[in-house]
Structure formats: structure tokens, C-alpha cells
Structure 1
Amino acid sequence: MPRAEVSAAVPPDLYAFTLDFFAFFNAPVRRLDRRKQGALEVDLPPELADYFGKPQLRLAFHHAGLGDEFELVAHGSRLFDRMQALLAQRGALTLLALPNRHTGSEELMHAVKPVNASITGLKLHEQARPLYVFNWRITYRADDKREELYTVVVDEQGERLPLAGAGQDAPDPGALDLDTLLADAQPIAPEMGPDGLPLPPRLPALSQLVRMAETARKYAIYHADLRCVSHEAEILPRLYQTLNRLTTYYGQQIQEVYDSHDPTGEKRRGLELDLERKIAEEVENHRLRVQVTLYSYALLQTPVAVADLTLSDGKREAALQLVRNRYTGAIQRAVCHACGQATTSVALDQAGHLCCDACIRQCATCQEIVCAECGVEPCPVCGAGNCATCGRVCWACGGRACAGHVQPCPVCGDTVCLVCQAACSHCGKVQCRSHLRADGVAAADGSHPLICPDCAVRCPGCRQYSVELGVCSSSGQRFCANCLVTCAGCGRQVGPGFYEKGVGGKAYCHDCLVECPTCHALTAETAACAICGTAACSACSSICRVCGRRVCAEHIRRFDGCSHLVCTEHSATCAYCRSEVCPVCLEACAICGQSHCDEHSDICRRCEQVYCRACVKESGLCLTCAGLERDGVPLDLSA
């Protein structure tokens, strides 16, 4: 496209903006030629004539053929800046009132249906509640400049109201259509003063406006933060291309500097410093900066009907407010104290809370209605639901029990439910389970009964508490039934440290101990050697691994390799070297029946059994397997 055509082109939005601007101020506009975006002639009303300083304007949208009587309308021109300044001045504050479309009050009275109460007080009055519409100009500056207008609407409590089509994933039925609101709203007629002059419009307090603006600005800043993510994703590739171009260019410049032309390297260092400076400049130029400024705001006065009601059930009262939007007809109903949902059917609980049908609970003791937030808790004993007034809190489990199912503990004095109390199995006193101990001696059924501290005695033997105690006949001390044993000699009961276990596991008291004739130590019992008949204690005698008899130390053999104990009668010797062998580890040869040691043993390569060396031939076969090789395997003909 030629350069002349590019410079002569007029943005369509600029031409349309000019027409809309003068149409808004009721200024007649005439076309001076037949071109699509040709020159215009505007007759200014008195208000605009005073502002522009002349009653008529001739407008052109390009420099070609521009005479002295024409004003240029273009971005950055003097006339265009004055038009924007006038709009900014006029649009900084807009005060409008929404129409009253729903005048009836019957729907408001039908918006509440008390379940267990009646309406004892009613006041109806009209109000005008403002909606605050803030338009924020958000400017994004980096290597380019972007601007957007972002609108935030808040109510008088500072709660943000959603706008229809404002980037929502799913349509919100309660979203506001701002274009419809502004189209339906009407200017508020100014009030006249005593002197007959119009008074300034009544606005909310400045502190209220500032608070609402600060709240709306937080939403605008959050929106700008989200947009910065996408903007920075677009900026980074451009920054990379710019830095890549710079580094490539300066890299070539540095390589082209010969050593003979730059013996000190000053030129190269200068190029490197210049590259670092330009890189820092480009990084700074591509740094995203965001500015959020208030462009304009509007106050939309919404007519509402407010009904202040008082509900009473004869014992207590609760205040309730219903609000109906006269513009949309929407009704703000009562809110359940428990779930926070709007409801028509309301119930008054014992605490004066309003609750819906789904959140009604009833105390089993007083039969009063309780909301779900206050709630009823089941009794740990009977399971009946009790409210906070009728129930008693158990200090042990934290449950809310019936008044008849709790009692003070006689030990600590805390109020505890019956589930958390138990009776001592010995004295029968009922108290907290935390004070009771399990008896160390099990009952006949295997359980361990609970005993109180007054009845429990700590056994000096096992250090456990029990009430099943007995007296040691030797020391006179009291031991539990688990620690006392009956002497196998005299039949008396003795405690730990006053008896010894005999060879057969029987207990003998110290009075029944005898002296071992071998080691002269006191022992519970002695046994005669099965070979020589000498009496010995369990420490001085051993049991043969082969015959199971007890023999003395002189007639026992211990083999080093396996540590087996065998009496001398069953100790075997090798038939070849006459060395002692363990009959438990090395059995006699199955062919000749003679004992043999490891050195005089051999394994048959066919049956893999161990035999003495004389019973295994040079072929590696035992005598039995060698006979099978010669005579064959015999057949069982009886089968």
C-alpha cells in the first residue's frame, strides 16, 4: 500500500466517536462532501460554544486540503484532546436513579412464613440504596503500551456484584447487565435552594466513597495481575529477539577487531561495555509496569422497600428485615442462622435464632427447637439429643449427657457421665475410669478387673497393682497371686527370691534345699547318675542326647564340633582310627554297622548315601549299588 494512502486513512472508530460526541450534546452535524469520512460542519449549542470559544466548528480528519477554517480531528490534535477533557470532566461522576417498576408490597409480606411464631411488629418504609460503579483505567507499559477500562460494581456493604459477560465460565443468573441499568436509569432532578438556585447533588460521605473506591481498586489490581501473566508471556519472546540481535551484532563487531589494530584490547572492552549497557536498557524497556487509576464512577440509586418485622413465640423475640428491589422485583429473604441460605419458612429457636426447616433440631428433654448450629448432642448413656441448656458436659469424654446420667466423682469431684465411670471390683465404689487400675492378676475368665487406688496394693515382686495377695511363709511379705508359688517339698507358699526351681521345673523353698555332694551348693533337688549312681545337682549333671538319661560330669562327653552331650555308654569310636565320633551327627554305616569319622567316610555316587570307606568300592558305588549293577534290579512278581 502506498505511503500516501496510509497517512490519509482515518480510523473508523475516530470518525464514529466524533459523530457520537456531538450527537450526545445535541449539536447538529452536516457533511460537507460526499466522501465516506469527509469534512463535517457542526453548529454548537451555547454550552459547547462557550467551551470551544466559537458557535460553529468545521472538522477535517486528514491534512490534505486542510484550510485555516478547519480543525483537525486526530489522535494528539488540540481539538481531540479538548473533546476528551470535556468527557472526562462530565463523566467523572454520574448520578442516576433507577425507575420504580414494582410498586406492590404484597409479595414482600408473603416472603416470610413463621413456623412456631407470629409477627408482632411491622414497619414499612422506602429507601434508596446506592450501587457504586467504578471505571478503572489500567495502563500496561513495556516496549509497547496497552490500556483497558475495567468496571467494578459494589453495593453499600462493599460486596462486589458480578457483571453479565465479565469473563465468566458459566452464566450467572444474578449478574447485573450494566448497559441495561444505565439505559433504564434516569438523571436525578436537582433540588432547589431557598434562593431558587439548584443545590449540589447529595452524595455519600467522602469517607464512604473512599472506602468503596479502595475496595473496588483491590479487584481491579487483582484483574491487572492476571492480565500481566499473559502480557509478560508476549513480552519475553520480543525481549529475547532484541537481545539476540544485539549480542549477534556486537559479537561480530568484536571479532572484526584485529589484534594489530587493538593491541591493548581497549576497543574490545569498549564494545563489551556498550553491549552490557544496551542489554540493561532493553531489559528495562521491556519491564512491565502497570498503573491503575480511577477514570470515572457512577452512583445508581436503587429504590427498595424495607419491612422491619418482629417475630415472637411468647417467650422470646427476634428482629427480621425483608428488602424488595423496586427496580428488579427481587426480594431479599430471611437468612437461616445455621446454613446461611435464604428461606421463606422460618422457625424461632430457644436462643432467638431464625432457622429453616432443614436446620430445625429438637431437644429430647425440654422439647424446645434448636437450630443446627447450636445443635443437640446425643447422650453417651442413652443416646437422647440434649441442648446446651439441658445437657451436662462430661469432663472425661466431652460428651453432653442427660442431667440424670451424670454424677460427681467421689475422688476428683468432676462431673462425669456414667459411661466414663466404673465400680471397683473389690470395694464397689463408683468413680472415674481414669482413677482405676487394671488388676495384675487375671480373673477366672481371663479378664483383668478394675480396682481403685484405695484397694490396690503394689506387689514388690512384679511391681504390678492387685488385690489378690498372699503372705510369703519365709519372709512374711505380701505378694500377688502371680508371684507366689507352692513349695513342692513342704507345700508352703513363698515369694520371689525365697525359692529355687528344681530339675523338673518344680519350686522348692530355701528350707527344703539340699546340698549337692559334688559342688556342695544348695539346690532344690539332686539326681543320681544313671551309670555310677553318684548324686548331683542340675549344674553338675547333664542329659545324654542319645538315651535321655541324666549322668554326672565324669560320664558325659561333649563334642567340640557340634556341642552335643552323649554319655560314655553311647559314645562311639571310629573303627579305623579309633577316634571318638558323635553318634548324633555321624550314624553308623548302614551296610557293615561300624562307626566311622569324616575322614573314613565316602558317598555313593548312585544312591548318594554316606558309608564307611570299606563299603564303597573304587568305582564310587557302595556294595549294595554294585550288586545292582551286576545282578540287576529285582522285580516284585507278587504285584
Structure 2
Amino acid sequence: MDEQPACDEHVRVCPACRLEHCTAHAGVCAEDGHTACTACLAPCGSCGRVVCNRHAEQSGAGAPKGSRRLCAACLTYCEGGTNEPVGVDEVTQCASCGKSVCTAHQAICAVDGQVHCSQHLRRTDKSRRLVCARHRAGCAVEAMAFFASDEVEECPVCGKHACAQHRGTCGHCGRQVCTADLAPQSRRCATCAQLAAIADPPVEVVAAARAVTGGGQRASRAWRMARDRSHLVVEVDLGLKRKAVFTLRPGTTAPESVVRHSLLGSKRRQ
């Protein structure tokens, strides 16, 4: 170390570099308490513990916090890149695969807000948002396009997912349906186009109609109904050329949506 002579009693061999040194230039490695020469001992760049070269590894200059000497407790490997050494304070677990990924090889899914490996994220075709595999979706009308799961909605008529560009509002029941189930001229969905007269509506339909009209039902009142994948669509004749159209989920008595039609126009109540 200092090229000064030392007797056999005070000579030691460093287990890290295998070179001789005297006790004046010896220190203790915090990893397991063994002695080493002071040339091989240095603090960890993360926790500050003094460790020898044998129990330390140098991260690369491309690591998020640059090149640092890291002890075994502070060292990990980025599994989202080329398995390069990085500090444990530079990585997060990928929400898709659970592997450790450093900030240089990670990104956030626009839907769940969680960290994922860059290889598990993909940009949507139109909005260019990054989404993970779990939150990727497609549009039934535009099958080749790739969307985020919050950019599509299920069509209540057919149950398929459609993007905003391929959805429209039914002018009769007021629901958002896919364009494949919406007639372009009448602006009525396929379910409303199939409404059929019924003389004796089910009990739950009568209960829902009372909530819509706010009173009892006349025996002469005309009913029309049709069912699709999500709802029972009911049209009630209120007289004086007025009608109420409401939708009902199976097994419920509370209308999910209500649209009133009159000579003055249509008005959605809920």
C-alpha cells in the first residue's frame, strides 16, 4: 500500500484483491465482517455501507442514477432491459410480469396508471396512448384497429364493443349503440325497430312504468316491447300522441333510462 516494510506479524492478504497489506491499511467489509485492504474498501453509492470490491458491483453509466458502486443489498438487475446491474432504488416491479424494471425501461399504462415493462406496453392506433395487454381492446366495426379499454363501450343491443366513432345515440330509447345496430335514416336501434305490441306486460314492467309515469296504469294503455342482449325496451302510450320509452335490466324494476316523446320533441329524463 505505502511500500513500507512490514513484519510477518502485521502482514495480511486481502481476500478481495489477493495482495499483501499491513494491518495499518486494513479495514472491515460490512457485508460479512471480514478484513480487506483499504484500497478495496469503499462506501456503497446507495446505502453508504463500506464494502470490499468482492462484495460490490458497479452499475453502468446508462443506469437511471448513473454509474455507482453498489453493495449486494442495494444491487439488483433490470429484467426489462438486458439484465444490467442497477440499484434497488432505481427499479419498480412490472404490473404485468412482476419483474424488476428500471425507470429507463418502464412506462405507465394510460388506463391503470401502473408501471409496466416497455415490452408489455403498446400504443393505440388512433390516440397513441400506451396501454398494457390487460387494457387493450378492439372495435367490432373497425376490427383491425387497436384501442384502449376505456376508448370502447359495449353495445347494449349486440354486446360487442365499439369505439366512439362507431357509436351513435338511438333517437327512440336514447341508448348509445354501435353503428351496425343503428339505422342511419330512422336513427333507431335494431331493438326499437322490433318493438311489438303486448297485451299483458310482466309485473316488473308495470312497476317500472309506474315509476316513469308517476301513477297508475290505465287498462287501455298500449304497450310495445322488445328484448336485446342488455335490456328490455318498453314503449308506453301516454295518450295525446305522447310516449315514454324506458329500458329495464333483467331482474330489476328500476328503469335505467327514460325518454319521453311528444309533438314538441324528445326529452331524456335519465
Using structure 2 for the length normalisation, give the TM-score.
Answer: 0.50
- SS of 2:127's partner is coil
Partners of 1:536 and 1:517 lie apart in 2 by: 17
Partner of 2:80: 426
- How big is the shift at 1:363? 6.5
Is 2:35 the counterpart of 1:386?
Answer: yes
* Letter paired with 1:471: R
Corresponding residue of 2:47: 397
Q: Name structure 1 gaps, 5 residues minimum.
A: 1-313, 317-347, 352-361, 542-549, 568-639
* Paired position in structure 2 for 1:269: none
Check the 8 A contact 2:29/2:35 in 1, yes or no.
Answer: yes
- C-alpha separation in 2, matches of 1:519 and 1:422: 58
Residue 438 of structure 1: aligned partner: 93
SS in 1 for 2:89: helix
TM-aligned CA distance change 1:463 to 1:498, over 3 Å: same
Quickly say closer, same or farther: Cα 1:512–1:413, change in 2 above 3 A: same
1:396 maps to a residue whose letter is: S
Which of 149, 162, 178 is equivalent to 1:508?
Answer: 162
Aligned to 1:498: 151
Q: How many residues align?
A: 190
Written as runs of structure 1 = structure 2, the 5 A alignment for 1:323-402 is 364-365=15-16, 376-377=28-29, 379=31, 383=32, 385-387=34-36, 389=38, 390-402=40-52
Equivalent residue letter for 1:414:
R
Name the CA distance, whole Å, in 1 between partners of 2:128 and 2:171: 31
Given that 1:409 and 1:416 are in contact with CA atoms closer than 8 Å, whether structure 2 keeps it comes out as: no
Query: Structure 2: 5+ residue runs without aligned partners?
Result: 182-188, 199-223, 237-244, 256-270
CA separation in 1, counterparts of 2:129 and 2:142? 19
SS of corresponding position for 1:475: coil
| SS of residue in 2 equivalent to 1:431 | strand
User: Aligned partners of 1:511, 1:369: CA distance in 2, in Å?
Assistant: 79
Deviation per CA, 1:542-582: give whole Å up to 9, x if none: xxxxxxxx342649899xxxx95189xxxxxxxxxxxxxxx
Cα pair distance change 1:424/1:377, threshold 3 Å = closer
Alpha-carbon deviation of 1:465? 3.8
Aligned with residue 103 of structure 2, among 438, 453, 456: 453
Say if 1:392 and 1:553 are closer, same or farther in 2 by CA, change over 3 A: farther
Matched AA of 2:75: Q
Which is helix-richer, 1 or 2?
1
Aligned residue in 2 for 1:407: 58
Please give the alpha-carbon distance, in whole angstroms, between the structure 2 residues aligned to 1:433 and 1:566.
Answer: 53
1:559-611 Cα distance to aligned partner (Å, 9 max, x none): xxxx95189xxxxxxxxxxxxxxxxxxxxxxxxxxxxxxxxxxxxxxxxxxxx
Shift of 1:494: 0.8
| Alignment correspondent of 1:483 | 135
**Contact kept? 1:517, 1:535, Cα under 8 Å:** no
Distance change (3 Å), C-alpha of 1:553 and 1:496: same
2:234 equivalent to 1:552:
yes
2:12 counterpart of 1:315: no
Q: How is 1:71-82 mapped onto 2 (pairs within 5 angstroms)? A: none
Query: Partners of 2:70 and 2:60 in 1: how far apart?
Result: 7
Instruction: Report the 3-state secondary structure (helix = DSSP H, G, I; strand = E; otherwise coil) of the residue aligned with 1:416.
Output: strand
SS at match of 1:500: strand
CA contact (8 A) 2:29 2:52 kept: no
The structure whose Rg is larger is 1
C-alpha distance in structure 1 between counterparts of 2:228 and 2:28, whole Å: 78
1:502–1:437 CA distance, 2 compared to 1 (3 A): same
- Hey, which of these two has a bigger chunk of strand by percent? 2
Letter in 2 for 1:425: E
Deviation of the 1:375 alpha carbon: 7.0
Amino acid at match of 2:123: V
Q: Secondary structure at the match of 1:454?
A: helix
- In the aligned structure 1, how far is the partner of 2:53 from the partner of 2:247? 80
Determine the C-alpha separation between the residues in 1 that align with 2:113 and 2:254.
43
Q: How does 1:160-199 map to 2 (within 5 A)?
A: none
DSSP-derived class of the 2:103 partner: coil
Identity over aligned residues, as a percent? 17
Counterpart CA distance in 2 for 1:496 and 1:556 is: 28
Q: Counterparts of 2:163 and 2:247 in 1: how far apart (Å)?
A: 33
In 1, Cα distance between equivalents of 2:246 and 2:169: 22
Contact 1:523 1:537 in 2 (8 A): no
